[in-house]
Amino acid sequence: MDLPPGGEKMKRSAYASAGVDIDEKMAGLSSVRKMVRGTFVPGVVGDIGSFGGLFASPGKDKLLVASTDGVGTKLNVAVMAGRHDTVGRDIVNHCVNDILVQGAVPLFFMDYIGTSRLRAPVLRAIIRGLCKACRENGCALLGGETAEMPGLYPGEEYDLVGTIVGVVDRKRVVTGESIEPGDVIVGLPSTGLHTNGYSLARKVVFQTAGLKPGDRFPGDRRTVADVLLAVHRSYLGPVLPLLERVRVHGMAHITGGGFYDNIPRILPRGAVAVVERSAWKVPNLFRFIQERGGVSTEEMYRVFNMGIGYVVVMPERDARRALGILKAARCPGVVIGRIEKGRRRCVVAG
């Protein structure tokens, strides 16, 4: 993030009158310097505040893996609830999972925050979440950008996007090419909607059902805000031991596109993934959305993760060991399907 040296606060400018208060922005950014430095890991070169972040090259036998994504309309829920400390964790964890499917561990993360008018307390809450997740995942918050654009973003709304760069040994990249018929699909539990499907979820929860953020969510002890703002889970902790001790043939992060669009991305030609819906209990949140929204079962499994946020494909003989490893990591997995011969696609059965 662009953190210049300080400076005396100037009188209110014409730019501030037009909606962009540079002084407030700089004061907010300066206040998070210590927080951001707390995420630094070996490899970070220099300090924050330059035009670009510096990070040491990991070596010739390593491959860099990069990914960019956004939080999406989950941010609307954060604005409605007035809670902004979870969305930073969401985007970091989401991006960590995206590069983890290729066996990569994160090195550094960079954020982009776009808004109509920057409010320092909101900025600090967002960055606090970013820093917490970066520390938990062992990566540095290396830099980013904050942009105030009155007229582009309505009211209190803002956008949050992140880019992550990680590293994997060239010989240990997970591509899915080794997936073969007879392999099993192990599913890892999600913590909720994660960061996908919120346009549909918000319509059902707030418009159709008429609920408010502070209401108790039907069939749950938590509030609507608690349920919808549950943090997108990072699978780095439980998956790394699998990569060390189990023959992992492929992995997929169940995000936008659900099962139907994400699992085929890792399948080789001639392999079909058959997912059994009866293998796990779909959480109450998804059942509520389907019933109150009148959403078809097929669409539910294409829009949402349905309680399974990440899948690992492996030989059947390794499944028992894998389930034990996941249980020990407090991320209990379950065999949710298998790989068969056929046209490359995902079939949700049962």
Encode pLDDT of 238-268 as tens digits: 999 999 999 999 999 999 999 999 999 999 9
For the structural domain made of 14-172, what CATH number should be given? 3.30.1330.10
| Percentage of the chain modeled with pLDDT above 90 | 78
Band of residue 8 on the pLDDT scale cut at 50, 70, 90: very low
Summarised one tens digit per residue, pLDDT across range 46-83 is 666 655 666 677 888 989 999 999 999 999 999 999 99
Question: Average pLDDT over the chain, rounded to whole?
Answer: 90
Torsion of CA 144, 126, 162, 48, to 10 degrees: 20
179-213 pLDDT, tens per residue? 999 999 999 999 999 999 999 999 999 999 999 99
Convert the pLDDT of each residue in 150-168 to its tens digit: 889 988 899 999 999 999 9
Residue 44 is predicted with a pLDDT of 75
Q: Is the pLDDT of residue 122 over 50?
A: yes
Domain ranges, ordered by start, for the chain: 14-172, 184-349
Rounded to the nearest 10 degrees, what angle do helices 319-328 and 236-245 cross at?
140
Q: How far apart are CA 47 and CA 56, in angstroms?
A: 13
Determine the average pLDDT of the residues in 84-113: 97
Give the three-class secondary structure for 77. Answer: helix
pTM: 0.87
Architecture of the domain delimited by 184-349: Alpha-Beta Complex (3.90)
